Amino acid sequence: MIPEFKNVERILYPTDLSENADYTFGHAVRMANCYGAKITILYVFEDLSPNVLMIMHAFHGLDRWEEIQRNNQDKILKDIRDRIQAFCDEVTSNLPECPFIVDEIIVETGHPVERILHHLDKRPCDMVVMGSRGHGLLKEALLGSTSHRVLRRSSKPVLVVPLPSKED
């Protein structure tokens, strides 16, 4: 028996705004159009590693570093949200024959894998469409670490779109 995607009403599209973003978004749009689904776009601004935080605290002092973060984080997240909205507007104008609906743009901080899985579990998302950028010598054989972890841990279907080769 061949399984079907039933009742795909909302697709979660996590993006890192990399070179693969528009290519992968095209796949999310195609899936949304096939099923009449809406797209929820998620961008996760990754938390700094403990080592970087320790260096920043030592360099700026804890109070000053927290002030810098408070003052800049909202602006950075708003800029990212605006960039994603402009990207959606551009795709819409370039593909008028391929209508799609972005129902929500979520921009937040955290660990990308955990936030993607959180939204898959807590929101009415039926599947995820995400890109992969394999790194290193075995990039042809390996998925990117974020997509690989989401694929392993997700209880919902995951479509992983590899970055096309230069010949494609």
Sequence spans of domains, the chain: 10-162
C-alpha separations of 152 from 21, 44, 117, 136 in Å: 21, 19, 11, 20
What is the average pLDDT across 25-41? Answer: 89
Reply yes or no on whether the pLDDT at 66 is more than 60: yes
Q: Higher-confidence residue: 68 or 142?
A: 68
Give the pLDDT of residue 1.
63
Please tell me the predicted confidence (pLDDT) of residue 136: 46
Tens of pLDDT, residues 113-167:
999 999 999 988 999 999 886 544 444 444 468 888 999 999 999 999 987 766 6
**pLDDT for 44:** 92
Question: Can you tell me the mean pLDDT for 54-58?
Answer: 77
Q: CA 28, CA 37: separation in Å to the nearest integer?
A: 10
Q: How many CB atoms lie within 10 A of CB 61?
A: 11
Q: Kindly state which CATH superfamily the domain 10-162 is placed in.
A: HUPs (3.40.50.620)
